[in-house]
Amino acid sequence: MSVVINGDTGISGVNGSAATPAIKGGDADTGIHFGTDTAAITTGGTERVSVDSSGAATFSGTVKTSKVENANTSNGGLEIDADGHVQLDGQQLPTQGPLSNRNLKHNGAMVVAQRRTSLTVTTNTAVYACVDGVRPELGTQINPNYTYEQSTDAPPGFKYSFKVTNNAASSFTPGNTAYHILMNNIEQGTAAPLGWGTPHARPCTVSFWVKSSLTGNDVVELGIRRSGTSNSDCIAMQITINTANTWEYKTVTIPATTYDTGMPADNALGFNLFFSFNGIVVGNKLTSYGVWENGTNRLGGPAGDTNVFAGTTGATFLYTGLQVEVGEKATSFEHVPFSVDLARCQRYFQKIQAPAANTRMAVSGNGSISSSFPTAWLRTTMRGTPSIDFSALGDFDVEGLTGGGKSTPTAINANAGCADSVTVAVGVSGGSTTLVGTNLLSKNANCFLSFSADL
């Protein structure tokens, strides 16, 4: 190759080709060659990269890089980590699973509260307190006094959170039933994409916003108990609250588990995901964090419990934006319309709230002199045949007695039903003829019928 050096052209010479590069090393067919307003890199006699006069680059093979961004900015772009997981403009893309319907947990933004917006609990109990899908459970404790509420204290992008307030400090006796947990249960059919209990099990990532008046890693733990049975595989993950009374974003990746059997796509409980304040101190506690273990009622990690939350009057704990998704990385929270979250919640619980007096709560019931069987049609197909509850007997009238009069029922029970409707057995007194086509009416705007098929 001839080389010419002058003030106008710098170093110049022949253009070369892919087979015989103009600039090469010890390998005769690997190097750089040139064309009209183009430059190209050759390896093994094949052109791999070429750049034209506009600056456009063409690659013939796989492009491997950790980040791609606009030449005029360092804000945003496409970023790929060492495991091949992709972020776009700083937003993590799913590592497995779909782009939509990623969140396996319904009502993660705490927007639906059909039962009530707050409840104070002073007894050892398990009850859906207020926000749909969150069930506090209190084991053997001394004088529990907690208020649970749907709070408007929330991080940017959210309207509500679930808040726990400890109204009075208490102590408890260490043991297998000394626990205070917030259950967030997930149905088997919903959890089926995880494949847990099968050779094809996949990890999941739990993400959420949290705010606490207490700091450290002994305030609360995140736990999962598979299938919800007392003898099941469990895992505990430590959470650290870094700054008091400040919203913090947390992500926890749960490894796949092949313990037990797989979860069929049915309507039984798939797993309990819970925040544990008072984990197990002695007995069947887990021996390590981040590892699935099999045993009975293992609701706490190896660090035990220092009674921080229960022992602090006025302690608060809030969380929202709870997302459970297949894969190793957390994506941004999947907000859905309120109507979608409401329908998902109504699969497990729904309430017919009377807007005014004389609202027909259940209709067209036949029966006898002493009973009537009107039907309540459910808004959403529920998980299974629901149980029934109501405000008070005195809140209702039975319409359709002799002469078109009304009578207060003596009893209200579920007589028969399915996931779409429930026939209500209403006892009455004072009738003289067989009841035909009767309705259950409200006396005021405060009365309700509710139906529960909770996990």
pLDDT band at 266 (very low <50, low <70, confident <90, very high): confident
Please state the rounded mean pLDDT for residues 315-341: 94
230 shares its domain with 356: no
Stated pTM of the model: 0.81
37-51, 184-198, 260-274: which has the highest mean pLDDT? Answer: 184-198
| CA pair distance 275, 320, nearest whole angstrom | 12
Please state the rounded mean pLDDT for residues 23-51: 83
Question: Of 304, 320, 344, which closes a domain?
Answer: 344
407 shares its domain with 365: yes
Q: What is the dihedral of CA 227, 204, 246, 88, to 10 degrees?
A: -160
CB of 362 within 8 A of CB of 375? yes
| CA pair distance 262, 196, nearest whole angstrom | 6
217 in a structural domain? yes
Q: Is the pLDDT of residue 192 over 70?
A: yes
446 vs 448, residue with greater confidence: 448
Phi, psi for residue 149 in degrees, rounded to 5:
-155, 155
379 shares its domain with 271: no
63 vs 454, residue with greater confidence: 454
111 in a structural domain? no
| CA pair distance 229, 413, nearest whole angstrom | 29
312 shares its domain with 224: yes
Q: Is the pLDDT of residue 8 over 70?
A: no
375 in a structural domain? yes
70 in a structural domain? no
413 in a structural domain? yes
22-31, 54-63, 349-358: which has the highest mean pLDDT? Answer: 349-358
- Select from 424, 422, 345 the least CA-distant residue to 385: 422
Q: Is the pLDDT of residue 397 over 50?
A: yes
pLDDT band at 370 (very low <50, low <70, confident <90, very high): confident
Q: Give the chain's mean pLDDT.
A: 84
316 vs 179, residue with greater confidence: 316
* pLDDT tens-place string over residues 222-231: 888 886 555 5
89 in a structural domain? no
Burial of 55 (0-12, 13-18, 19+ CB in 10 A): exposed
202 shares its domain with 324: yes
CATH of the domain at 212: 2.60.120.260
For residue 37, the model assigns a pLDDT of: 82
| 210 C-beta neighbours (distance < 10 Å), count | 23
Dihedral angle sign, alpha carbons of residues 360, 364, 369, 371: negative
233 shares its domain with 340: yes
209 shares its domain with 310: yes
Strands laid side by side in the 38-43 sheet: 23-24, 31-35, 38-43, 46-51, 57-59
Question: Of 325, 344, 363, which closes a domain?
Answer: 344
* pLDDT tens-place string over residues 290-304: 888 876 656 667 765
204 vs 260, residue with greater confidence: 204
| Percent of all residues in the chain with a pLDDT value above 70, rounded to a whole number | 84
Q: Strand, coil or helix: what is 257?
A: coil
Domain that holds residue 35: 4-59
- Select from 253, 428, 432, 396 the least CA-distant residue to 329: 253
| Percent of all residues in the chain with a pLDDT value above 90, rounded to a whole number | 38
281 shares its domain with 360: no
For residue 1, the model assigns a pLDDT of: 45
Q: What is the DSSP letter of 132?
A: T
352 in a structural domain? yes
Q: What is the dihedral of CA 418, 419, 420, 422, to 10 degrees?
A: 50
- Close Cβ partners of 372 (under 8 Å, ≥ 6 residues apart): 365, 366, 398, 400, 425, 426, 428, 435, 438, 440
Burial of 267 (0-12, 13-18, 19+ CB in 10 A): middle
Question: Of 344, 367, 397, which closes a domain?
Answer: 344
137 shares its domain with 34: no
Q: Is the pLDDT of residue 409 over 70?
A: yes
127 shares its domain with 16: no
Q: Strand, coil or helix: what is 192?
A: helix
* pLDDT tens-place string over residues 100-153: 788 999 999 999 999 999 999 998 888 898 999 999 988 776 778 999 999 999
CATH of the domain at 441: 2.60.40
* pLDDT tens-place string over residues 230-264: 557 888 898 999 999 999 999 999 999 887 666 66
355 shares its domain with 337: no
147 in a structural domain? yes
For the chain, what is the domain count? 3
374 shares its domain with 329: no
